[in-house]
A and B are shown apart, each in its own frame.
Chain A
Amino acid sequence: MIGAAVRRERWYGGAAPLATVIAAMLLDLLWIPVPGFSAVAPAFPVMAVFCWAAWRPQLLPYTAVFAAGLFEDLIRGTPMGTASISLLAVQGFVWAQRRYLSTRSFEVLWLGFALTAFIGAAATWCAISFAYRTPLSPWPGGMQYLLTVAAFPPVAFLLLRIERGLARVPS
């Protein structure tokens, strides 16, 4: 018989990864008074999906990432399915390479993120170019990729604190 407190803790633990991904998506709505920043703002959802897929893959299933991707498309006004393809590509790659990425050596993790984020950015570019039926300029996406990789350490640190808070939640 599982107690109510344990059940609640499990529920919070299960909801936390998806909640952080959604929160990262809502950051897209943050208005930064720097001209042109929104076009190259770091892709926080990619960071969140990467970290959870590497540390607690069982808490963030493919279906949740797919749904979160649709939510992001609705917020951004991008063609439906674009963010889902990108985030699923990120998650799929991390799951395949989890052996190397779960070492907890930060340098390896950052390098792995740089590679994974590149796959995510390429998937986004391909999906949008397909939807618009024309190859778009990859430069804005490239700039966003560089900023995303540069902004990864503080975000990963924050997510690691949350993940450690979930340490008691059974896998």
Chain B
Amino acid sequence: MGTRTRAFGRIWVVRLWVQRFAFLLLIAAAFGLLVLGRFESPWASRLRAGLLDAVAPVAHALSLPGRAVSDWFASVKSTSDLQRQNAELKTEIDSLRLRLTALDELDRENREFRKLLAVKMPDEGKHIAARVISDPGGPYVRSVLIRAGQREGVRKGRAVVTAQGLVGRVTEVGEFTSRVMLVTDVNSRIAVIIGVAGERAIMAGANADWPKLLHIPRVAGIAKGDRVVTSGHDGVMPPGLPIGEVAEVGPGNVRIRLFVDTQSLGFVRVIDHDMPGLLPPPGDPKTAERPSRRRDRFDGGSP
């Protein structure tokens, strides 16, 4: 009897001690998770992807009222602007017809030169259309959830675009939902080419509307208004995707105005594009793991 009382007393003391220090223990555990999170563990990715699918119906339902309001405003706006838009479009069509003729000629020339030089062009990849259902990032993360996942053929690391240009890349893939890290996110790093001079740099998100350029070999070669496109040198993004134009050029500070308004995305397209020689063939999980980690370190790693 005495032994049992003593044992019960000891358990009670331990329980009291744990309760008293639970706060500190849990803070330490959360801090430990932060440290472990730096190592991009696969179980955390799987957990996140699973939860994406679980919350996707809720996110979709919660996006409907906002979408309805947004679509209504858009339709009212377009109705009132119809006449002006019609006149503008007619003028644009005339000028584009002229440019199209010139482009057809250039395209024909290009094909002939490629044939002469025996250049093998990379596959343009298939496009997967998806609706943006939520943007739950908060003040320090710029990401959106899209309604397309493994079922539709979306894979981690794929480029996401709109008709205007690059939006970001896929970072988490669930069965029918994915998370896209926007190019404005502080963790985004994309290899780019600037202007006709072809200056190379890394475009880094800054959690602001305008990303900045890093590692520019020669700032003098960059001017305001220069177009910025993906270079494909990061082994992640297909080359030639339009991103934006140079908006600010200062000493050690070059900012890019994006072509895409990342704050009001409706539909996007995921480019299922394999970089030859860098990514393993699809459906090979063993080899798929290693290069994707390398990609993360370059394109999604901490700044």
Cβ contact within 8 Å between B34 and A80: yes
- A66 on the B face (CB < 8 A): yes
Contact with B along A113-155 (1 / 0, CB 8 A): 0000000000011011011111011001101100000000000
A-B pairs under 8 A by CB, number: 149
Name the distance in Å between B271's Cβ and chain A's nearest Cβ: 21
Known: A26-B55, A33-B73, A75-B55. A63 touches B22 (CB 8 A): yes
Chain A residues in 8 Å Cβ range of B31: 81, 85
Cβ contact within 8 Å between B140 and A77: no
Q: What is the interface residue range for chain B against chain A?
A: 35 or more
The answer for the CA separation of A154 and B137 in the assembled complex, in Å, is: 24
Q: Which residue of B lies closest to A127 (CB)?
A: B34
Contact of A80 among B44, B73, B134, B135 (CB under 8 A): B44
- B138 on the A face (CB < 8 A): yes
Cβ contact within 8 Å between A77 and B55: no
Chain B residues in 8 Å Cβ range of A33: 66-67, 69-70, 73, 264
Stretch of A10-18, A37-45, A98-106, A157-165 with 4 or more beta carbons under 8 angstroms from chain B: A37-45
Chain A residues in 8 Å Cβ range of B134: 29-31
Q: What is the interface residue range for chain A against chain B?
A: 35 or more
- B171 on the A face (CB < 8 A): yes
Chain A residues in 8 Å Cβ range of B34: 79-82, 85, 127, 130-131
The answer for the CA separation of A88 and B208 in the assembled complex, in Å, is: 29
Cβ contact within 8 Å between B136 and A76: yes
Cβ contact within 8 Å between B140 and A124: yes
- B261 on the A face (CB < 8 A): yes
Chain B residues in 8 Å Cβ range of A128: 140
- B263 on the A face (CB < 8 A): yes
Chain B residues in 8 Å Cβ range of A136: 140, 186, 207
Stretch of B57-65, B122-130, B220-228 with 4 or more beta carbons under 8 angstroms from chain A: B57-65
Cβ contact within 8 Å between B27 and A85: yes
Q: Which residue of B lies closest to A78 (CB)?
A: B141
Name the distance in Å between A78's Cβ and chain B's nearest Cβ: 5
Chain A residues in 8 Å Cβ range of B207: 39, 136-137, 140
Contact with A along B141-181 (1 / 0, CB 8 A): 11101000000000000000000000000011000000101
- B108 on the A face (CB < 8 A): no
- B96 on the A face (CB < 8 A): no
Chain B residues in 8 Å Cβ range of A124: 140
- B187 on the A face (CB < 8 A): yes
Chain B residues in 8 Å Cβ range of A38: 135-138
The answer for the CA separation of A30 and B34 in the assembled complex, in Å, is: 26
- A112 on the B face (CB < 8 A): no
Contact with B along A20-40 (1 / 0, CB 8 A): 000000111111110110111
Chain A residues in 8 Å Cβ range of B22: 61-63
List 16 contacting pairs A-B, 8 Å CB cutoff, sorted by A: A29-B62, A31-B67, A31-B133, A33-B66, A33-B73, A39-B207, A74-B51, A77-B48, A77-B136, A77-B137, A85-B31, A88-B26, A127-B34, A131-B37, A133-B38, A144-B139
**For the complex of A and B, 8 pairs with smallest distance between CB atoms:** A81-B33, A140-B139, A33-B70, A35-B263, A31-B63, A84-B30, A31-B66, A81-B30
Beyond A28-B138, A39-B139, list 4 extra A-B contacts (CB 8 Å).
Answer: A30-B63, A35-B263, A77-B48, A144-B138
